[in-house]
Chain A
Amino acid sequence: MGLKDFEQISALRSTLGKMEIALGAINDAIVWTNHKGLIEWCNKSFDRLVDAPHISILGKPLASMLPLREHGLQLPAGAHPILGILQEKRDVQGYYDFFQQKKSLFVEFDGKYVEFSSGEFSAVIVVRDMSEARELEQVRVQSIALQAAANAIVITDNRGKVIWLNNAFTRLTGYGSEEMLGNPIEILQSGEHDDSYYQNLWKTILSGKVWQGEIINRKKDGNTYVEMQTITPVLNSKGDITHFIAIKQDITEQKKAAQALEQAIEEAETANRAKSEFLANMSHEIRTPMNAIVGMTELVLDTALDEEQLDYIKTVKSSAFSLLNIINDILDFSKIEAGKLGLEKISFNLAGRLQNTLKMLSLRAHKKGVELVYHEHPGIPEALIGDPERINQIIINLVGNSLKFTEKGGIKVEIAVADKAGVMSSKPGQKVDPVTLTFSVEDTGIGIAPEKQAMIFEAFTQADSFTTRVFGGTGLGLAITKHLVELMGGKIWLKSREGSGSTFFFTIPFGVERAGAPKKIPVFMRKLEGSSVLVAEGNPRSSSVFEELFRHWRMEPILCEDIATALSLAKDAAAEGNPFDFFVLDAMLFDESSQAPLKEILSEPELKMPIIFILPPGARTRHFDACREAGISFCLAKPITPSDLMDAVLRVHGLESELPSKDEADHPALSQAAVPKKVLLAEDNPVNQKLAMRVLEKMGHRVTVVPNGREALETIMKAAYDVVLMDVQMPEMDGLTATAEIRRAEKETGRHVPIIAMTANAMQGDRERCLEVGMDDYLPKPIRFQDLADVLARYPTASKSDDG
Chain B
Amino acid sequence: MQKFNEIVSNKEVPVIMVDQDGLIQDINDAFEAAYGWSRETLKGKMLTTIIPESLRNAHHLGFSRFLTTERASILEQSLDLNIVTREGIEKPARHLITASKENGKWAFAASIHDIS
A residues with a Cβ closer than 8 A to B are 6, 9-10, 12-21, 32, 34, 38, 40-41, 54-55, 58-59
Inter-subunit contact B57/A17 (CB<8 Å): no
Residue pairs across A and B with Cβ atoms less than 8 A apart, 10 shown, are A6-B21, A10-B20, A13-B63, A13-B64, A13-B67, A13-B68, A20-B61, A20-B68, A55-B74, A59-B82
B37 → A minimal CB distance (Å): 20
A32 → B minimal CB distance (Å): 8
Report B1-45 CB contacts with A as 1/0, cut-off 8 Å.
Answer: 000000000000000000011100000000000000000000000
Inter-subunit contact B81/A9 (CB<8 Å): no
Inter-subunit contact A16/B61 (CB<8 Å): yes
Residues of chain B from 73 to 89 with CB closer than 8 A to chain A in the complex: 73-74, 79, 81-82
Bound together, the chains give a CA A34 to CA B52 distance in angstroms of 13
Bound together, the chains give a CA A58 to CA B55 distance in angstroms of 7
Bound together, the chains give a CA A41 to CA B57 distance in angstroms of 7
**Cβ-based interface call for B115 (8 A):** no
Identify which of B21, B57, B58 contacts A9 (C-beta below 8 A).
B21
**Cβ-based interface call for B54 (8 A):** yes
Bound together, the chains give a CA A32 to CA B54 distance in angstroms of 12
Known: A10-B21, A54-B73. Is A59-B65 also a contact (CB below 8 A)? Answer: no
Inter-subunit contact B65/A21 (CB<8 Å): yes
Question: How many B residues are at the interface, by size bracket?
Answer: 20 to 34
- Which of A17, A40, A58, A59 has most chain B Cβ within 10 Å? A17
Bound together, the chains give a CA A6 to CA B61 distance in angstroms of 17
Known: A55-B79, A59-B52. Is A17-B73 also a contact (CB below 8 A)? Answer: no
Inter-subunit contact A20/B73 (CB<8 Å): no
Identify which of A6, A17, A38, A58 contacts B68 (C-beta below 8 A).
A17
Known: A13-B63, A55-B74. Is A21-B69 also a contact (CB below 8 A)? Answer: yes
Inter-subunit contact A58/B65 (CB<8 Å): no
Bound together, the chains give a CA A55 to CA B74 distance in angstroms of 7
Q: Which B residues are CB-close (under 8 A) to A14? A: 64, 67-68
Inter-subunit contact A58/B58 (CB<8 Å): yes
Taking chain A's interface residues, is the majority helix, strand, or loop, or is none over half, making it mixed? helix
Bound together, the chains give a CA A10 to CA B60 distance in angstroms of 11
Bound together, the chains give a CA A20 to CA B55 distance in angstroms of 15
Q: Which A residues are CB-close (under 8 A) to B20? A: 10
Q: Which A residues are CB-close (under 8 A) to B21? A: 6, 9-10
Inter-subunit contact A41/B58 (CB<8 Å): yes
Inter-subunit contact B54/A59 (CB<8 Å): yes
Inter-subunit contact A16/B52 (CB<8 Å): no
Bound together, the chains give a CA A58 to CA B61 distance in angstroms of 12
Q: Residue on B with the closest CB to A12?
A: B64
Inter-subunit contact B54/A40 (CB<8 Å): yes
Bound together, the chains give a CA A17 to CA B62 distance in angstroms of 7
Inter-subunit contact A59/B68 (CB<8 Å): no
Inter-subunit contact B65/A17 (CB<8 Å): yes
Q: Which B residues are CB-close (under 8 A) to A16? A: 60-61, 64-65
Bound together, the chains give a CA A54 to CA B59 distance in angstroms of 12
Bound together, the chains give a CA A13 to CA B62 distance in angstroms of 10
Bound together, the chains give a CA A34 to CA B58 distance in angstroms of 11
Q: Residue on B with the closest CB to A44?
A: B73
Top 6 A-B pairs, shortest CB-CB distance: A17-B68, A16-B64, A17-B64, A13-B64, A20-B65, A17-B65
B19 → A minimal CB distance (Å): 10
Bound together, the chains give a CA A457 to CA B49 distance in angstroms of 112
A232 → B minimal CB distance (Å): 49
Bound together, the chains give a CA A15 to CA B61 distance in angstroms of 10
Identify which of B22, B58, B69, B81 contacts A40 (C-beta below 8 A).
B58
Q: Which B residues are CB-close (under 8 A) to A12? A: 64
Q: Which B residues are CB-close (under 8 A) to A32? A: 57
Bound together, the chains give a CA A230 to CA B11 distance in angstroms of 79
A769 → B minimal CB distance (Å): 107
Identify which of A10, A18, A59 contacts B55 (C-beta below 8 A).
A59
Bound together, the chains give a CA A322 to CA B22 distance in angstroms of 134
Q: Which A residues are CB-close (under 8 A) to B58? A: 40-41, 58-59
Bound together, the chains give a CA A59 to CA B57 distance in angstroms of 10
A51 → B minimal CB distance (Å): 16
Inter-subunit contact A40/B57 (CB<8 Å): yes
Q: Which A residues are CB-close (under 8 A) to B82? A: 59
Inter-subunit contact B54/A38 (CB<8 Å): yes
Q: Which A residues are CB-close (under 8 A) to B52? A: 59
B21 → A minimal CB distance (Å): 5
Q: Which A residues are CB-close (under 8 A) to B55? A: 58-59
Bound together, the chains give a CA A462 to CA B54 distance in angstroms of 106
Q: Which B residues are CB-close (under 8 A) to A18? A: 68
B75 → A minimal CB distance (Å): 11
Bound together, the chains give a CA A32 to CA B60 distance in angstroms of 14
Query: 17 extra interchain contacts, Cβ-Cβ under 8 A, other than A16-B61, A21-B69?
Result: A10-B20, A12-B64, A13-B64, A13-B68, A14-B68, A15-B64, A17-B61, A17-B65, A17-B67, A20-B62, A20-B64, A21-B65, A54-B62, A54-B73, A55-B81, A58-B55, A58-B58
Bound together, the chains give a CA A14 to CA B58 distance in angstroms of 15
A534 → B minimal CB distance (Å): 126
Q: Residue on B with the closest CB to A9?
A: B21
Inter-subunit contact A21/B54 (CB<8 Å): no
Q: Which A residues are CB-close (under 8 A) to B54? A: 34, 38, 40, 58-59
Q: Which B residues are CB-close (under 8 A) to A19? A: 61
Q: Which B residues are CB-close (under 8 A) to A21? A: 65, 68-69
Q: Which A residues are CB-close (under 8 A) to B66? A: 17
A577 → B minimal CB distance (Å): 132
Bound together, the chains give a CA A757 to CA B104 distance in angstroms of 135
Q: Residue on B with the closest CB to A33?
A: B54
B77 → A minimal CB distance (Å): 9
A552 → B minimal CB distance (Å): 111
Bound together, the chains give a CA A727 to CA B54 distance in angstroms of 125
Q: Residue on A with the closest CB to B63?
A: A13
Q: Which B residues are CB-close (under 8 A) to A10? A: 20-21, 67
Identify which of B61, B67, B74 contacts A41 (C-beta below 8 A).
B61
Q: Residue on B with the closest CB to A36?
A: B54
Bound together, the chains give a CA A14 to CA B54 distance in angstroms of 22
Q: Residue on A with the closest CB to B81?
A: A55
Q: Residue on A with the closest CB to B68?
A: A17
- Which of B58, B62, B79, B82 has most chain A Cβ within 10 Å? B58
A457 → B minimal CB distance (Å): 98
Q: Which B residues are CB-close (under 8 A) to A40? A: 54, 57-58
Bound together, the chains give a CA A98 to CA B92 distance in angstroms of 30
Bound together, the chains give a CA A231 to CA B30 distance in angstroms of 76
Q: Residue on B with the closest CB to A32?
A: B57
Inter-subunit contact A17/B69 (CB<8 Å): yes
B18 → A minimal CB distance (Å): 13
Bound together, the chains give a CA A640 to CA B15 distance in angstroms of 135
- Which of B54, B69, B79 has most chain A Cβ within 10 Å? B54
